[in-house]
Every structure is written in C-alpha cells, then in structure tokens.
Amino acid sequence: MYVYDQHDHAIIKQRVQQFRHQTERFLNGELAEAEFLPLRLQNGLYVQRHAPMLRIAIPYGMLNAQQLRKLADITDNYDKGYAHISTRQNMQLNWPNLEQVPDILAELSEVEMHAVQTSGNCIRNTTTDQFSGIAQDEIEDSRPWCEIIRQWSTFHPEYAFLPRKFKIAVNANTRTDRAAIKFHDIGLQIVKNNDGETGFEVWVGGGLGRTPVIAELINPFLPWQHLLSYLESILRVYNLNGRRDNKYKARIKILVKAMGIDAFRDKVEQVWSRLKDSEITLTQTEVDRIKAHFTEPAYKVFAEPSKQLADQLSLNPAFNTWYEHNVTAHKKTGYAAVTLSLKKLGIAPGDISSDQMRELSDLADKYSFSELRTTHQQNIVLADVEEQQLFNLWQELLPLGLATANIGTLTDMICCPGGDFCALANAKSIPIAEAIQKRFEDMDYVYDLGDLDLNISGCMNACGHHHIGNIGVLGVDKKGEEFYQISLGGNSTSEQAAIGKILGPSFKAEEMPDVIEKIINVYIENRQTEENFFTTVHRIGLDPFKERVYEPKVA
C-alpha cells in the first residue's frame, strides 16, 4: 500500500496545525459559524444530531494493522469505543468533542491518516473493488490508479469549492463491478484495447441522492497517459457550468442531463484539446513510481490448492458454510480473500468496536501481511490468507463476533446511521435493519434466497444506497412521523445497472418486517430455477409485489 514520503508527512502535519488554529479561533468567537463551516467540512467534520461526526479517510479502503490499532485507541480515548464503516470505504466517529478533533487529527497523522476532503464540495475519497490486486478476473490492479487520482485531487486549489461534492470510482474487473461505477460522478472502467494497451472507459454523470441517475459513457477508451488531463477537463466544465444557486440541482448529473451527453462531451473535448499532452500527462516513470507501492507481498509458493482445507471443509459444516459465503478466490494458488461481516444481529450494520479493531489488527499481522481493506458494503476484508490457515482464522473470528456467514445475503444489508445520529435523516435506519435481521434469523432460509441486496437510507441523500438495492428502503417523514418507502429492482453493478422502482405508499416502522417477508414470499413463489431476486423482479414486474403488500388485512 502507499507509504507517505517526507512531503506527505509535512503537508498533513501542516494541515493539522492549520485546523487547530481555525478551531481555536472558532471556539474563541473569532470565526463565525458560517466562516468555520467550509473549514471544518474539508477536514471531515459534520455537526450531527447529538455531537460532531468525524469522517476519517481510508483511501480506496486500504488500511494496515498499525493504523487500525490507532483507530481503536482514538475511539476509546475520544469517542465511545466504536466506529462506523461508510459506503465510501471511510470510517466515521459519531461522538468526538469539537475541542479534541485537532488532537485526533494529530494522532491520525502519526500513522499516515487524515480526514482531508472526506466532506465538503470537493473531490472525495476515490473508491474501488475491495479485491483489487488479488482478484482472478481483473485486468490489472486498480489501486495505483486510485492513488494517482488521490494525489492529483488532494488539495487541488481549483477544485476545493466545486458546486457540490464529487465522487470517483474505479473498477478493473471484467465480469463484475463491485465499485458501482455507473452511480458516481465519474466512473472509470479499466480496459485493454486490441493492442493490449491499458486505458479507461469513462462514465460521467451518475449518482444517487434526491435524483438518482445512471452515468453515461463519455469516452470508450481513454489512454492511461491522459487520465488526469481528461479528469481535469471534466471537472473544469462542471466547475464552470454547474449550478451553485440550488444545491439540489448542483451535482454534475444534473448538468449532464441538462446539456445532453453529446453537448457535454463536446465541451470536455474543447477543454481537453488545450490540456492534452500538457505537463499533467502521465509518464511511465510516474506510474511505475506509484505502482512500486503496490507490489505483491511475500507469498509462499503452493503447487496446488490446500488438501488440508478440503478435509476441514468436509468435516465441519459450519466452517464450510462460512467458507462458501465469506471466502473469495485469489489469483495466487493456495491463498484466499476473507470478508469479515460487520452485520451480526444486534449490532448496527457497519459498526466495529475498539476491541474488535485491536483483535483484527493482530489477525491481520498473523494471517494477511498486516493489511486490511474496508468495503463499499460496510465490511472488512483480509485479502491474502493462506488456504491452509482459513480454518484457524475462522476459529479465532468466532468469539470476536466477526464470523457471521452472511456475505451477499439479505442480512448483509447496507445501512446508513439514520435518525439515531444524522441531523439530515427523516427516519431511523438502524432499528429497521435490526428488525429485518431478527425476522430472517433462519440462515438456511436466507441462503435459499440466494444473493440479495437490501439497502436502507434514512433520507433522500441516499447514504445507504437504497436506490440500487434489489430491495431499497427509504425513511420518509409524514407530518412528524417516521415512515418507510420500498423500491424494488435496483442493481449497483455496471452490467445490470438499474434504479429501483417505488412500490407504492410507505409503511410504518412496525410493519416493515412483515412487508419484507411478503416481498420475499412473492419472489419464492415466482422464481424460476437458479433465478435471483433481481431477475425475477424485472421478469414479473412490480404488480404481484404490490398486490401482496397492499392486500386488505383480514379482520
């Protein structure tokens, strides 16, 4: 993973000092709230329902064990002993005191971490596939390209105050899209041309929130040398033409829709004609410099898959079940990637305690070259585990509550913090997630349903990505009461990208488990052999689901 050089260290420490002075001036009354607002936002600090919320950057989800131990200490010393993994692969603290935030940032800088540009109208954390670099079917490792984008976009003076926040995602997989690139302001798909040269399929204008939009293709093959000049061209067109008078119309997706993709492309090409081949053209030397930070760890050589593992799987049904759901194939023979579910019943989805962080740091040292990854689905991955060690790892995860075998299932749901924490939320999300998890405690039943995404957001800002869940749940406010709207048929993957369609009138919180169960029953009654929920919904339409969930109650 990327390691700071002297310049990185100096810049981040200067930033901490700068924010310390800004915070002191605000607390002394020398800065008004309106003046302090953009300063705190660009350092990841929101004002939430009960306390400030600090969002800590985890670039494209990469963490090392030392950093996770530091995060554990910070949550104990400055917060309430736990943290929350976000859908941008960052980590959030929900209870820091404003006065102590500069101290937190200072401690983060000691382990090459920060909270820069995790909020505000700037370029946010670039996200990617959690299995980058180890996936069997990727074109190449996407992380060096994410790091190049990170270095270009961090502290970029021209893009510090964009019309609205700006999100970029990169995918390198040929068969699936775990980065949801078509729902980002810019989505980059790594591709090869007929000559075997690396380039990018560039998608623009996607997004969720109040107006969900699937991105449009703006460039089918961008040679890698021009990645930054083309991104810069898109950003310049957006920065000059995006609306600033209405924040609900300010995202690039609105601009692209208003102009039309062809007109938008023309403007980008005009700008690019001046920037192409300029000083920001990437050179092989620079790309190699970044790629040198993402070399393979010291893998052992295994001639064939572990026979010991095969025996352990056959002898232990519980281990076999966990293996089937939480273990992903690795490009290196004898290795596997393990996804640790943060969706245990009774725990808010995506939350992890300080004790779990410390134990997980030790396990990363022991089993996975001291590295971990956070995921878009709010879980954590150990990416380089020897197959012959999987059984031992599983046994150590069990007492930590990190061996829940539910990855990709109904109970592996994405969920925002909702009304329990967020000042923007219309309704609580976490209690709804827990009630649905309780209703579907029978994991054999859940496994029979197959892969199924259920995403929950507490408001139209869609931090829980409800639009692209196979089942989406949106919290809405009706005259001061919390209700929940259902959408069906969403999909985050590039090849089947779809925005869910609203089922109908919303429901009370206590009705939600029954509603979800009725929806699942319609799927079971109508599915064809090997047909997943998404396919069934799009084959039979919404009417059968509407008839069931809105049928009159029997007296």
- Give 304-335 pLDDT, tens digit per residue: 888 899 999 999 999 999 999 999 999 999 99
- List Cα–Cα distances, 142 to 98, 199, 516, 525, in angstroms: 36, 12, 37, 41
Is 218 a domain residue? yes
Is 363 a domain residue? yes
Is the domain of 193 the same as that of 83? no
- List Cα–Cα distances, 336 to 130, 332, 348, in angstroms: 13, 8, 27
Enumerate the H helices of 79-182 as residue ranges: 101-109, 143-153
Is the domain of 338 the same as that of 314? yes
Q: How confident is the model at residue 263 (pLDDT cuts 50, 70, 90)?
A: very high
- 213 beta partners: 207
- At residue 484, the pLDDT reads 96
467 CB-near residues (< 8 Å, 6+ apart): 183, 208, 212, 455, 487, 490, 499, 500
Is the domain of 451 the same as that of 539? yes
365 CB-near residues (< 8 Å, 6+ apart): 65
Q: Are 456 and 416 in contact (CB under 8 A)?
A: yes
- CA nearest to 476, candidates 440, 503, 439, 514: 503
C-alpha–C-alpha distance, residues 159 and 165, integer Å: 10
Taking all residues of the chain, what is their mean pLDDT, rounded to a whole number? 95
442 CB-near residues (< 8 Å, 6+ apart): none
C-alpha–C-alpha distance, residues 431 and 446, integer Å: 20
Q: Return the percentage of the chain with pLDDT > 90, whole number.
A: 90
Q: What is the pLDDT of residues 200-259, one digit of tens each?
A: 999 999 999 999 999 999 999 999 999 999 999 999 999 999 999 999 999 999 999 999
Q: Cβ-count burial of 509 within 10 angstroms (0-12 exposed, 13-18 middle, 19+ buried)?
A: middle
Is the domain of 396 the same as that of 418? no
Is the domain of 154 the same as that of 286? yes
User: What's the rounded mean pLDDT across residues 163-176?
Assistant: 93
Q: Cβ-count burial of 551 within 10 angstroms (0-12 exposed, 13-18 middle, 19+ buried)?
A: exposed
Q: Which of 290, 323, 345 is the last residue of a domain?
A: 290
Is 407 a domain residue? no
User: What's the rounded mean pLDDT across residues 272-283?
Assistant: 96
User: What's the rounded mean pLDDT across residues 344-356?
Assistant: 94
Q: Which of 400, 428, 462 is the last residue of a domain?
A: 400
Is 122 a domain residue? no
- At residue 365, the pLDDT reads 98
- At residue 419, the pLDDT reads 82
Instruction: Please state whether beta strands 335-340 and 198-204 pair in parallel, antiparallel, or not at all (unpaired).
Output: unpaired
Is the domain of 156 the same as that of 266? yes
Strand order in the sheet with 216-223: 127-128, 168-171, 186-192, 198-204, 216-223
What is the pTM assigned to this prediction?
A: 0.94
Is the domain of 153 the same as that of 255? yes
User: What's the rounded mean pLDDT across residues 176-203?
Assistant: 96
Is 127 a domain residue? no
User: Is residue 467's pLDDT more than 80?
Assistant: yes
Is 555 a domain residue? no
Q: Which of 400, 429, 460 is the last residue of a domain?
A: 400
Is the domain of 440 the same as that of 355? no
Q: What is the pLDDT of residues 491-539, one digit of tens each?
A: 998 889 999 999 999 999 999 999 999 999 999 999 999 899 999 999 9
Is 115 a domain residue? no
Instruction: Please tell me what DSSP assigns to residue 277.
Output: T
User: Is residue 52's pLDDT more than 90?
Assistant: no
Is the domain of 348 the same as that of 428? no
Q: What is the pLDDT of residues 67-116, one digit of tens each?
A: 999 999 999 999 999 999 999 899 999 999 999 999 999 999 999 999 99
CB crowding 467-494: b at 16 or more within 10 Å, else e: bbbbbbbbbbeeeeebbbbbbbbbbbbb
Number of domains in the chain: 4
CA dihedral for 311, 317, 319, 322, sign (positive or negative): positive
- At residue 246, the pLDDT reads 93
Provide the 3-class DSSP secondary structure of residue 223: strand
User: What's the rounded mean pLDDT across residues 444-467?
Assistant: 94
Provide the 3-class DSSP secondary structure of residue 82: strand
User: What's the rounded mean pLDDT across residues 363-371?
Assistant: 98
Is the domain of 369 the same as that of 421? no
User: What's the rounded mean pLDDT across residues 271-297?
Assistant: 96
Is the domain of 418 the same as that of 506? yes
Is the domain of 159 the same as that of 192? yes
C-alpha–C-alpha distance, residues 328 and 384, integer Å: 10
Q: How confident is the model at residue 554 (pLDDT cuts 50, 70, 90)?
A: low
- At residue 555, the pLDDT reads 62
Is 254 a domain residue? yes
Reduced DSSP (H G I as helix, E B as strand, rest coil) percent helix, strand, coil of the chain, to 5: 45, 20, 40
Range of the domain at 488: 414-550
Domain CATH code at residue 513: 3.30.413.10
Domain CATH code at residue 19: 3.90.480.20
CA dihedral for 435, 437, 442, 448, sign (positive or negative): positive
Tell me phi and psi for residue 309, to 5 degrees.
-60, -45
C-alpha–C-alpha distance, residues 62 and 89, integer Å: 9
Return the higher-pLDDT residue of 337 and 554. Answer: 337
